[in-house]
Chain A
Amino acid sequence: MQFIARRLATYLVAAWVAVTVNFFIPRMMPGNAVTTMMAKFPSLQPGAMKALEAEFGVGHAGSLLHQYGSYLVDLSHGNLGLSTNFYPSSVATVLGQTIPWTLTLVGTATVISFVLGTLLGILAAWRRGGLLDQLLPAFTFLQAIPYFFLALLAIDAFALHWHIFPNGQGYSMGLVPGWHWAFIKSAVYHSLLPALTLIVTSMAGWMLQMRNVMITTIGEDYVLAAQAKGLSNRRVVWTYAARNAILPNIAGFAISLGFVVAGALVMEYVFSYPGVGYTLYNAVTSDDYPLMQGIFLVIAMAVLLANLIADAIYVVADPRTRRRAAY
């Protein structure tokens, strides 16, 4: 417990740094929300600039410290400012609409690819030189293809050529999002191709790492001793070898869970999927600075949270970490 408490403190500090970086980035960079709005609506009188500055909170009234204070207060109320793109919607509203898409699709795909990759890695290591092990270079190739390239080829083949899957978007045109069967069916159908491409490209990484650590673990004396005792193969593989070899993979998985929100950027762009990544892309191309900042903050917080969960799992999985807390 002491270990978790200390970690929690660490993450609080990290969260503060992320928030602060997010505060300083726009202040070090040229361009702001008001100039975007003025450019977007040329009919606005110069006098409107003052009103807009007040509304978007730019123009930087008061000292830097004062701005920082009000920025923190706004944040604690969940106030991320207004989006220029979806004006007058707030950034928080836009995020609330986009996060569920990304979390569901990419979260599911990541979990599937982790579980599948780890299992295949265990199998490949246990059956050294077997069929799966021989196929590794092919998996390597899949991992090395740029994701969007594979996705484009998949869209070209499955959507445009064979018409098996839709070629993009989150759901069919004309449907109203909500908890009814027609919408859910359409959303799942639209998510199949993006999910498949994500799994195919990311599975190989888990598999390779698991296989390599697993092979080293199988060579350990205690695995040998377990076999010498005459334990069943199943018990040796799962309770002795895989249980220990999975630790680096768990550490990696947590980090990748945080990137769930982020790594989807390219996928969502290619598939025009209505998630966080696509929104970030649109925010960047249309200079929607408040939205960019808000999304960046959400992604950073997601990574932090994922790391906290990872630490908790790691403590459960590796007793040595628990003993270390006594130092």
Chain B
Amino acid sequence: MAIGVLSPEPAVTTRRRLSVRSYPLKAKIGALIIGIFVLVAIIGPYIAPFDPSAINSAQSSPIGPNAVHLLGTTSNGGDVLSQLLVGIRSTVVLGLVTGLIATFLSVVIGVSAGFLGGFADEGLSLLSNVFLVLPALPLLVVILGYLPEAGNLVTAFVLSVLGWPWGARVIRAQTMSLRSRDFVAASRETGERTWRIIFFELLPNEVSLIAASFVGTVLYAVLTSVSLAFLGLGDLSSWSLGSMLYWVQNQNALVLGAWWWFAPPGLCVALLGTGLVLLNFGLDELGNPRLRDAAGQRKIGGHAWRPADPTPVLRELQAPRRRLAGAFASLSSGAGNGTQSVRSLLGPHRGAPPGGGEAQ
């Protein structure tokens, strides 16, 4: 069932490959931020100048940044920079692991439910509704209330199991809407197999939703675990951004005005989240040409036109108010999703020979 057989060379040569330089700026910034965090997660514990748990019993108030402690100390002499470098690892790992597992589950379940319909949809929707009614934070709070010694592993597990229905529901809704479109109907009429319709017709149109779902899940995992630790219900014996913030609150860093102590962990979580969302923006723009070409737009007749829009044919009308509307030359120029329905009716996709779906 090689796909290469039914689409020989045109598929590769006609598609414009995006070089790294042409990636959207937001994606580059987001990827850079995430990259730095992942790097710190890997090497952080090895480059930490002090033992993060080391305390100086003679000290009773936090000391600001200085040559020895670059980010100052906590009130009992712990080195903030070391705590940060060590703590980022567990937060990043927890977020990424949870995001990967939960997104995989939500894509599989959301697409199957939305596309297959009928009993499969009922069953899978029931499953996701059941998981949806088990709200993660309260359930985690209750479970951790019973099991105070449970650590990050339990947290990650419960977050993954409870984190997928959100994405699954959105993806299911989009799949239901897509499957009733013309281009899906057309590929079904030409005899495409179900798995091929799902992977080559539906999923490419859902990349932005799936990416958003992944980013959302990682963000949710990071923020939930940080919140849990902040409430004092997480694993406080190990260092994470959440447990740092717990001690910040517990030892009144804000009241003491020790900004070097409370700002870094909070900003790190915010920066990590921002990086994720920016990366999501970029992924969106890669997958959806309509989101991409904001840079190439031109203002003609008071309306911003982008390369994917149809060629504007402008005509001055008497009434100045209606000047903007203009008439459109054609419907089928451009490369966006909207024109796909037209094209898929005119002929098969991406250089596949007529009837190719059947021939395999």
Q: Give chain A's interface residues, CB within 8 Å of chain B.
A: 6, 10-11, 13-15, 17-18, 21, 25-26, 29-31, 128-129, 133, 136-137, 140-141, 143-149, 152-153, 156, 160, 208-209, 212, 215-216, 218-221, 224-225, 227-228, 230, 233, 247-248, 251-252, 255, 258-259, 262-263, 265-266, 269, 280-281, 283-285, 287, 289, 292-293, 295-296, 299-301, 303-304, 307, 314, 318, 320-321, 324, 327
User: What 15 additional pairs, Cβ within 8 angstroms, besides A137-B274, A144-B277?
Assistant: A11-B129, A13-B126, A29-B146, A144-B269, A145-B273, A147-B223, A221-B342, A227-B328, A230-B322, A258-B135, A284-B142, A284-B233, A300-B134, A307-B132, A320-B180
- Give Cα A286–Cα B194 distance, bound, in whole angstroms: 54
Task: Assess the B122–A6 pair: CB atoms within 8 A.
Answer: yes
- B235 in contact (CB, < 8 A): no
| Interchain nearest-CB distance for B288 vs A (Å) | 6
Task: Assess the A296–B142 pair: CB atoms within 8 A.
Answer: yes
Task: Give the chain A neighbours of B338 by CB distance below 8 A.
Answer: 219-221, 224
Task: Give the chain A neighbours of B133 by CB distance below 8 A.
Answer: 14-15, 17-18, 258, 300-301, 303-304, 307
Whether A146 contacts B117 in the complex (CB less than 8 A), given A219-B338, A262-B135, comes out as no
- Give Cα A97–Cα B342 distance, bound, in whole angstroms: 59
Interface string of B230-266 (1 = CB under 8 A from A): 1111000000000001000100001100000010001
Task: Assess the A266–B129 pair: CB atoms within 8 A.
Answer: no
- Give Cα A13–Cα B294 distance, bound, in whole angstroms: 47
Could you say which of A144, A296, A327 has the most chain B C-beta atoms within 10 Å of its C-beta? A144
- B118 in contact (CB, < 8 A): yes
| Interchain nearest-CB distance for A285 vs B (Å) | 8
Q: Please name 12 pairs of A and B residues whose Cβ atoms are closer than 8 Å in the assembled complex, sorted by A.
A: A21-B134, A29-B143, A29-B147, A30-B147, A145-B269, A152-B262, A212-B284, A215-B291, A219-B337, A248-B174, A296-B138, A300-B133
Task: Give the chain B neighbours of A314 by CB distance below 8 A.
Answer: 173
Sorted from nearest, which 5 A-B pairs have the closest CB atoms? A144-B273, A29-B146, A284-B145, A149-B266, A145-B270
How many B residues, CB 8 Å from partner? 79
- B176 in contact (CB, < 8 A): yes
Task: Assess the A303–B132 pair: CB atoms within 8 A.
Answer: yes
The A-B contact count (CB < 8 A) is 210
Task: Assess the A224–B328 pair: CB atoms within 8 A.
Answer: yes
Task: Assess the B142–A292 pair: CB atoms within 8 A.
Answer: yes
- B26 in contact (CB, < 8 A): yes
- Give Cα A227–Cα B322 distance, bound, in whole angstroms: 11
- Give Cα A283–Cα B262 distance, bound, in whole angstroms: 28
Interface string of B290-328 (1 = CB under 8 A from A): 110010010000001010101000000000001011011
Task: Give the chain A neighbours of B269 by CB distance below 8 A.
Answer: 144-146, 149
| Interchain nearest-CB distance for B120 vs A (Å) | 12
Task: Assess the B122–A10 pair: CB atoms within 8 A.
Answer: yes
Task: Give the chain B neighbours of A15 by CB distance below 8 A.
Answer: 133
Whether A156 contacts B254 in the complex (CB less than 8 A), given A215-B290, A255-B169, comes out as yes
Whether A146 contacts B245 in the complex (CB less than 8 A), given A266-B227, A327-B118, comes out as yes
| Interchain nearest-CB distance for A63 vs B (Å) | 23
**A21, A129, A219: which contacts B308 (Cβ < 8 A)?**
A219
Interface string of B145-163 (1 = CB under 8 A from A): 1110000000000000000
**A208, A216, A280, A285: which contacts B277 (Cβ < 8 A)?**
A208
- Give Cα A292–Cα B134 distance, bound, in whole angstroms: 14
Task: Give the chain A neighbours of B337 by CB distance below 8 A.
Answer: 216, 219-220
